[in-house]
Amino acid sequence: MTNILQDFAAAVQRHPQRIAIVDGKGRETRFADLQHRANGLARAWHAQGIQRGDRVLLAMPVDADLYASLAALWSLGATVVLPEPAMGLAGLKHAAKVTGVTAFCSGGVYGLLKLALPALWPLKHLRPNAAQGPTLTLPAPDTDDIALISFTSGTSGAPKAIPRSHAFLSAQHHAIAPLLHSENDERDLVAFPVFVLINIASGRTSILPNWKMSRLTSLAPAALQAWLETQNATRALIPPSLADKLADAALPAGLHTIFTGGGPVFPDLLAKLQAAKPDLSIICVYGSTEAEPIAHLDAQDITETDHAHMQAGHGLLVGKPVPALELRIHDGEIQVAGGHVNGGYLDPRHDSENKIRDGETIWHRTGDAGYTDDLGRLWLWGRTGSQVGDLYPFSIEVAAHGWNGVRQCALMDTAHGATLFIEGESGDWQAQAAKLGITRIKQIAKIPMDKRHASKVDRKALANL
């Protein structure tokens, strides 16, 4: 199996002058230039002593240098540590504390963190200053070497460090690549860093956000529309919160496909997008930090019967599992295994809670409840442990999203029993809720959402309200 560095090199050979990355300032970097930049950084950091086994904490703007730095460090055999961006400075401190980093790599103003955080003082400091000279000839990293350490979102506790080997990244590439495949020269607006890696390895152009992902809620729909139009984007890979903003704008004529995930994609969002542009193709992607992707669904394949089932409380349809994956439902929980499913955490103590070893197979417990139908398609109920009595959240929330005036909703247990919290304009909700067994509704001004993609209800924050 090839690793992602080899796939990148092959992409450079095929399309050296194709645009690889357009950053948030509109600056274009071609594939040949991206490789040249990565080679220069590798020479500079090799001279600073970076070698196989080093763990390098990375804090850089999301631009071409970020991806050139990943390639450079991987070519040296180093492991890149990416903190959880939604946590800001706290995420950086947490990453440095739990991963045992040996160097700190920064770009732009992020270099000031080296002075501000005592934990970084003793570390080698790498800056993106390339060195001239011949390309380094070093042994390729082993497939089992750790390429990347990233983190869970931390919505159910402290973020857990997830090691990803070179073999894992390659398997993830080959699991996602068929989903993104196109015979045309697409220009993808990509809001998910892992999909930028897949595009680079596939030789496809990625347009990076021109907004801060930590400030999704303040992004104006018109600004998102303008960025897509300015960059002639043909596809968008964005979370549901941004897809919803886009539906409030005039969708650019050249945009023909939206891939959306990172949170539940409710039927009302699909209807809103399809109303805005009837010929728009919409692909819903379901996965988790530890296993991306798990399943996907083309909105055109949702039948009237499927819609009726979702309105009747049967949960949320997310489609068929991807071919490179094993999936089972155990005690109501979705569990997955395969080459692109993380086999364990950096801290083995987390494995007992989230991993099940069955012979040679390691099953990942997604923490999501669900079932498969007669067609082999996966349906979600919501998070395990989030049920209120006999009701799972999605049995109510999916239906409620289709009611007039509902912008966001959440089923929660309160001192008064099962309560459906609704953000939106007043409507005839009581009668519709009663059909699903809900008698208590509370309207609130704003339902808090997750910090990473602003697409999942932050149930802890809601409970605190």
Query: Residues spanned by CATH 3.40.50.980 within the chain?
Result: 4-12+30-167
Tens digits of residue pLDDT in 148-169: 999 987 665 678 999 999 999 9
In this model, does residue 374 exceed pLDDT 70? yes
Q: What pLDDT score was predicted for residue 465?
A: 86
> Exposure string (b/e) for 314-334, b if CB count within 10 Å is 16 or more?
bbbbbbbbbebbebeeeeebb
Per residue, what are the HEC states of 303-342? CHHHHHHHHCCCCEEEEEECCCCEEEEECCEEEEECCCEC
Which of 3.30.1700.10, 3.20.20.70, 3.40.50.12780, 3.30.870.10 would CATH assign to domain 209-461? 3.40.50.12780
Q: 279-330: per-residue pLDDT in tens? A: 999 999 999 989 999 999 999 999 999 999 999 999 999 999 999 899 999 9
* DSSP for residue 62: S
**Domain covering 4-12+30-167, topology:** Rossmann fold (3.40.50)
pLDDT band at 48, cuts 50/70/90?
A: very high
What are the tens digits of pLDDT across the range 81-94?
Answer: 999 887 888 889 99
Between CA 52 and CA 30 the distance in angstroms is: 28
In this structure, of 68-77, 132-141, 281-290, the range with the lowest mean pLDDT score is 132-141
Give CATH 3.40.50.12780 domain extents, the chain. Answer: 209-461
pLDDT digits (tens, 9 = 90+) for 431-446: 999 999 999 999 999 9
Structure tokens at 113: 């963190």
Cα–Cα dist 223/366, whole Å: 35
Residue 392, CA distances (Å) to 94, 285, 368, 382, 457 in order: 33, 21, 11, 6, 14
pLDDT for 106 equals 97
Q: Check pLDDT > 80 for residue 25.
A: yes
| 3-class secondary-structure state, position 260 | strand
Higher pLDDT, 427 or 388: 388
The string of pLDDT tens digits covering residues 203-260 is 999 999 999 877 788 899 999 999 999 999 999 999 999 999 999 998 999 999 999 9
DSSP structure string for 125-179 = EE-S----SSPP--PPPPTTSEEEEEE---TTSSPPEEEEEHHHHHHHHHHHHHH
Count Cβ atoms below 10 Å from residue 60 Cβ, excluding itself.
20
